[in-house]
Structure 1
Amino acid sequence: MGKLFTQPVERSIQPIIKLMDNPPSQPLIAWDRTKPVDLDLPTLSKKDALKLYQLTKHIL
């Protein structure tokens, strides 16, 4: 199953290299391979991220 979804490192790292060579102007971004992800998605909630941090910071 893994072979269906995996790519060689040389190929999978290309979108990251492009972003590093040509950084976007936004201070915070999220990408899914080659497409930007909407930061307003509920799964990227700042409030939830802070809550998770508060609950787990003692582990770090």
Structure 2
Amino acid sequence: MRLMGKLFAQPVEKSIQPIIRLMDNPLPQPLIAWDRNKPVDLSIDSLQPAKAQRLFELTKHLIAE
């Protein structure tokens, strides 16, 4: 895991820059998803409401603790 962190981790100051740019210049669509600095296609299978609900049901115990 440390190796992965060294290879892919970024300092907070750098990693939040895309979010700050989006907040300063919001896009017109009401819902967006981003993977680092690229928009994610909202029609992909894993973002479908039923699958999101299933993921929530399977993981909600993690945030209840």
| TM-score calculated relative to the size of structure 2 | 0.75
Gaps of 5+ in 2: none
User: Contact conserved, 2:32 with 2:40, CA < 8 A, in 1?
Assistant: yes
Quick check: 1:35 aligned with 2:38? yes
- Measured after TM superposition, the shift of residue 33 of structure 1 is 1.0
**Relative contact order higher in (CA < 8 Å, ≥ 6 apart):** 1
Alignment partner, residue 19 of structure 2 = 16
Aligned residues: 58
Cα distance in structure 2, aligned partners of 1:6 and 1:51? 29
Residue from 8, 23, 44 that aligns with 1:5: 8
CA-based RMSD of the aligned residues comes to: 1.7
Q: Give the TM-score normalised by structure 1.
A: 0.81
d(CA) in 2 for partners of 1:52, 1:4? 28
5+ residue gaps, structure 1, are none
